[in-house]
Structure 1
Amino acid sequence: MSPVTNTSLILYLSLVLFKNVLGDIEAGVRKPLKFNLNYPSEPLINFTELATRHGYVSEQHTVITEDGYILTMFRITKGRNCRRPIKRPPVLLMHGLLMSSDCFLDSGPNAGLAYLISDLCYDLWLPNIRGNYYSRRHIKLDPDVDQDFWDFSNLEFGYYDIPASIDYILHHTKSKKLNYIGFSQGGGSFLVMNSKRPEYMEKTGVAILLEPGTRHTYTRSRLFRLLCETYLLYYPLLTDIGEYEALPLGGIVQKLTAFLCKDSIAASSGCRLALGLIDGPHPGSVETETIKMLFNHFPAGTSLKNIVWYGQAVNVDTFQNFDYGASKNLQVYGSVQPPAFNLSLVEVPIVIIHGRNDFFASPADVEWMASKLPNLLEQFYVEEPLWNHFDVTYSRLTSKYILPKISEYLKKYSN
């Protein structure tokens, strides 16, 4: 057995042990447990409470998809530093893999994109994709009982969740269009939507894709690749023992990291090192307080099937649907191979903002994606050579390196 397989087996056995021996804590006891472990109070409050605490007017909304998923979406209606009338159209800001809308608040009012964009006087909406802790509900299915709840991957995000969020925002605001900002998976899912549901291209003014994730052939994060490939390898065994949810908030991985990283010394040393091992290193970019905060919201949960899709994605050279195997692919798609998403159909004006030190969405994969898009306005590389994937959500330097470009295109496509 190879060293990689041995490592994968150890990781797999650890996942099963954590789930079946230690188990997940129930939602009703999460807060008391965290208080007993001396957690700071701030991570216990939700998006609207945190935004309000920092002087931002916010709301909570409920969106129901065509296939019955109940999604939570937040809105910041007025930035604390906005001194002018609110601009139109509204702006949708979508999070990435294993994240929630909270990721855009974690670095605080001086750096969090939710704060900074609303301070530019935009009506900002932040959805949560199915399966994370804000959107773990369905009109019929119980996520703790029904395995069908977890039968989704990136296709469903683009086909159901983003369209439902867009329709809700446009109906609520009486606007004909919105401007879209998608980070990582949130960028890839936007492209899925437009390749599968072209009618939504008329509803978007401009799409700003931050470190977008599509093809992952050249992903440089060894830990990310190992995790996804391990889930892929043991997918049948995990489903056989009833595992359909991956890395939820309140699961053992999130509980341990949140507990360990609540300490300032641990956060500034071991937890910072862990971030550097997962993504490209960028010393001095992320504040210690942000590290303490982010691990209370990350990982936020998704389906096992979605993580398995990433395990497939790192081993192919295209951006494609979920691969069920030849026999089931014939049933589902009518072909032995899963069809690729046709990026040439995406005619929405698109801006790509990217870093050269991104270990998840590598420059080679982003260049490949960019070459397929028919209406690419600009592919902008961040000036800072060490800018990486997590910097979009957690860096203290977002206002310097990416906000000006975001502002430039929002202004161009706004009234």
Structure 2
Amino acid sequence: MTSKRLNTFNIIVLSAVVVAAGYLIRTPWFPIKRELKQSLGYPKDSLLNFTELTGRYGYSTEEHTVVTEDGYILTMFRIAKAKNCHKRKRSPPVLMMHGLLLSADTWIDSGPNAGLAYLLSDACYDVWVGNIRGNHYGRRHITLNPDKDKKFWDFYIEEIGKYDVPASIDYVLDNTGFEKLNYIGFSQGSGTLFVMCSERPGYCDKVQLMIALAPASRQYHSQSTIFRGITQMFEKLEDAFSLCGLHEVFATGAFTQEFFAFFCQVSDMTEAMCEVFMSVFDQVDAFHPGSITNDTTKVLVGHFPAGTSLRNMARYGQSMRSKRFQKFDYGMEQNLVMYGSERPPEYNLSAVTVPVLCLYGKNDGLVDTKDVEWLTSRLPKVLEVMLVEDPLWNHLDMTYSQYTSYAIFPKVNEYLLKFTEE
């Protein structure tokens, strides 16, 4: 027991050092210029944005700008022309939303044969890929400067669910002429839709099918020691970091991300170490050899982590200690001011009236099977809950595995077809 506590303490201390290094030590070297990365032999795919990367593989992508009610400016992508679809697109459109510390890039980093956005586009779906505030595609605001204004970073899943997801849904529907769309959310991308349904009455009616991939709500049983240690470190030290001017964490182009992008492409040995790290991040004692290829790892570290707010990470630290899916806990006194109660209110999962297909993995260290079962027992319209057949399937496999085309795509496609017209 003492050894386990010591290991957790060491993780927290190491995490604090990495964060401090990434955000207190700023030099002209970061972010590293693309030209320098090219000369150092970085994989080309890791240097490209969503539009460039899809174009490299024969897909035509449009860039769209979404402005939220509270002024955040988000970039959204639409795969306008697929490489392997030669007929009219199916309707209605499909909106995909990424998870924590990720971006739209997560759906394509594993390449055309495995990236879920590619697979859906080749199946002739009208694919729209969203981003949220705080990542590298959502780091703009009408009036606030993310480099100077603390207020820009004063958000967590509450604001993402209340503003970003509804704005993205409205934008897609306004631009396609449909009244409803189909929604695919990974991890936080599912949780924020639950928040939307709870906090924005009527918006759930704009979604006719939700496909929840490893959906994050409460995370009481999460087994990832690293993720638990990092998020709870942010929770405990939020005020201290904020006083130091640290409001944005794990940003693209900061030391942390640039270090891993460099390290993971230096040699065969460091590539292998990065593969192990990705597995360890998911769950301490669980590995899925070969699922996420070395090539995919080298590409994804060019886009991950994509950044979020200190407050959002602190909220995840709280979710590890609570058996409820609830709002941010400010402490009893401040909760009384904010909510009129000593405890934070729970999100109303009974308001999630959209039909739901849920897919999850037995080996998921971040979204544990017990928490998935807890969640789905509270959703009113669950169509099916599917445990991925592969017993080693973990959290990051949902978006990065080379086995996506046969491990999860057939089930996703089966349900989309039920809610789609030619």
**Same fold per superposition (TM over 0.5):** yes
1:105–1:113 Cα contact (<8 Å) kept = yes
Partner of 2:226: 223
The Cα offsets for residues 308-333 of structure 1, whole Å up to 9 and x where unpaired, read as 00000001111111111112111111
Q: Given the alignment of the two structures, is residue 269 of structure 1 paired with residue 272 of structure 2, yes or no?
A: yes
Letter in 1 for 2:144: L
State, as a whole percentage, how many aligned pairs show the same letter.
48
1:260 to 248, 263, 267: 263
Corresponding residue number in structure 1 for 2:97: 94
Q: Distance in 2 between matches of 1:277 and 1:248?
A: 21
1:15 aligned partner: 19
**Match among 362, 367, 372 for residue 361 of structure 1:** 367
* 2:193 counterpart SS class: helix
Worse overlay, 72-81 or 306-315: 72-81
> Deviation at 1:84?
2.2
Which residue is 2:378 aligned to? 372
| Cα distance in 1 between the residues matched to 2:36 and 2:372 | 42
Q: Where does residue 320 of structure 1 map in the other structure?
A: 326
Residue 406 of structure 2 is matched in structure 1 by: 400
**In the TM superposition, what is the alpha-carbon distance from 1:264 to its structure 2 partner?**
5.4
In structure 2, C-alpha distance between the alignment counterparts of 1:410 and 1:134, rounded to whole Å: 27
Q: Distance in 2 between matches of 1:307 and 1:67?
A: 21
Look up the equivalent residue of 1:320 and give its one-letter code: Q
AA in 1 matched with 2:170: D
Gaps of 5+ in 2: none
- Structure 2 CA distance, aligned partners of 1:147 and 1:79? 40
- Whole-Å separation in 1 of the counterparts to 2:161 and 2:270: 35
Shift of 1:286: 1.3
Q: TM-score, normalised by structure 1?
A: 0.96
Partner of 1:202: 205
Deviation of 1:6 after TM superposition, in Å, equals 5.1
Is the aligned partner of 1:191 residue 2:197? no
User: Within 5 Å, which residues of 2 pair with 1:4-43?
Assistant: 4-5=8-9, 7-22=11-26, 30-43=33-46
Partners of 2:150 and 2:247 within 8 A in 1: yes
1:307 counterpart = 2:313? yes
Residue 386 of structure 1 aligns with which residue? Answer: 392
From 346, 352, 355, the equivalent of 1:340 is 346
The answer as to whether partners of 1:24 and 1:250 remain within 8 angstroms in 2 is no
Cα gap change, 1:254/1:17 in structure 2, threshold over 3 Å: closer, same or farther? Answer: closer
SS in 1 for 2:33: helix
Q: What secondary structure, in the 3-state scheme, does the structure 1 residue paired with 2:325 have? A: coil
Q: Give TM-score, length-normalised by structure 2.
A: 0.95
Moved over 6 A (4+): none
Contact kept in structure 2, 1:99 and 1:132, CA below 8 Å: yes
Gap regions ≥5 residues in structure 1: none
Aligned residues: 414
Distance apart, 1:106 and its partner CA: 0.5
2:319 partner amino acid: A
Between stretches 48-57 and 61-70, larger displacement belongs to: 48-57
Query: Which residue pairs with 2:120 in the alignment?
Result: 117
Cα displacement string for residues 48-98 of structure 1 (whole angstroms, at most 9, x for unaligned residues): 111111111210000000000000000102221112210000000111100
Does the 8 Å contact 1:267/1:288 carry over to 2?
no
